[in-house]
Amino acid sequence: MNIDILIRTNRKSISISISPQGELIIKAPRRCSLEYIQTVIAKKEDWINLHRKRVLENQNLNKSIFNHEDILFCGQVYHVVFDNKIKHITLENEYCIVPQKYSDDLEKNLIKWYKKVAAPILWGRVEYFSNLMQLSPNKVRLSNARGCWGSCNSLGLVSLNWRLIMVPHDLIDYVVVHELAHLVQMNHSQLFWGVVKSVLPDFAVRRKALKKGDYLLSLYRNS
Ligand SMILES: [Zn+2]
């Protein structure tokens, strides 16, 4: 099997991974022979092929989202189509129908629409969890932060990235609970995670899933 990147290290065993571009990366001990490496990866051929396929599928999906052929809304993919008879961006079945006149300035118009629909949904979740946790932020606002999904400062201002509207509801809820928990604990101590866990016992799974969507934070930065 063709190895794209072979890294020799001081490790004792061989590790196999697939890069985001679908390349096969092998890390191997310095003295390990190529023949031996080949026998090890031959045994893992099914795993390698399956993972490479998944990575490439993901990459293709991401590509269409980066160039706005598709959009994500609450974890669902919608294919962008233009229509000169409608006035507003509308989601219908698996389509995101966009007025033809927006086609020249698609990104800017999609951002405007995203923010408009994100606000009531996000505020609704904040209200729900504020009541549940008996915590209320002084102010909540939409953010455009490059590096994070949400934040909370010592003045009780909670900021939620409008791109949260692209991910599934359970991940939105995780970010909301996380930021509200900062109203009690301004750090990421055990106490803090205890507060998060008391509301969302499966927060770790959600946190991990959201991490996979971090690339979405770099979307819609061209206009
Ligand atoms: Zn935090």
pLDDT tens-place string over residues 116-171: 999 999 999 999 999 999 999 999 999 999 889 999 999 999 999 999 999 999 99
Question: Looking at the 3D structure of the chain, how many domains does it have?
Answer: 2
Instruction: Find the 187 Cα to ligand 1 centroid distance in Å.
Output: 7
pLDDT of residue 119: 96
Instruction: Find the 194 Cα to ligand 1 centroid distance in Å.
Output: 13
Task: Report yes or no on 92 lying in a domain.
Answer: no
Instruction: Find the 76 Cα to ligand 1 centroid distance in Å.
Output: 26
Task: Report yes or no on 45 lying in a domain.
Answer: yes
Residues 32-58: tens digit of each pLDDT: 999 999 999 999 999 999 888 877 877
The verdict on 61 and 112 lying in the same domain is no
Instruction: Find the 182 Cα to ligand 1 centroid distance in Å.
Output: 7
CATH classification at residue 146: 3.30.2010.10
Could you give the C-alpha distances from 172 to 74, 127, 161, 177, in angstroms and in order? 9, 13, 10, 9
pLDDT of residue 188: 95
Task: Report yes or no on 87 lying in a domain.
Answer: no
Instruction: Find the 178 Cα to ligand 1 centroid distance in Å.
Output: 6
The verdict on 59 and 112 lying in the same domain is no
> Mean pLDDT for the chain?
93
Contacts of 104 (CB under 8 A, 6+ apart): none
Is the pLDDT at 59 greater than 90? The verdict is no
Instruction: For residue 72, give the nearest of 222, 213, 221, 223 by alpha carbon.
Output: 213
The verdict on 195 and 139 lying in the same domain is yes
The verdict on 62 and 152 lying in the same domain is no
The verdict on 117 and 28 lying in the same domain is no
Which residue range(s) make up the domain with 30? 5-66
Task: Report yes or no on 41 lying in a domain.
Answer: yes
Place of tokens 């079945």: 93
Task: Report yes or no on 76 lying in a domain.
Answer: no
Residues 144-159: tens digit of each pLDDT: 998 899 999 999 999 9
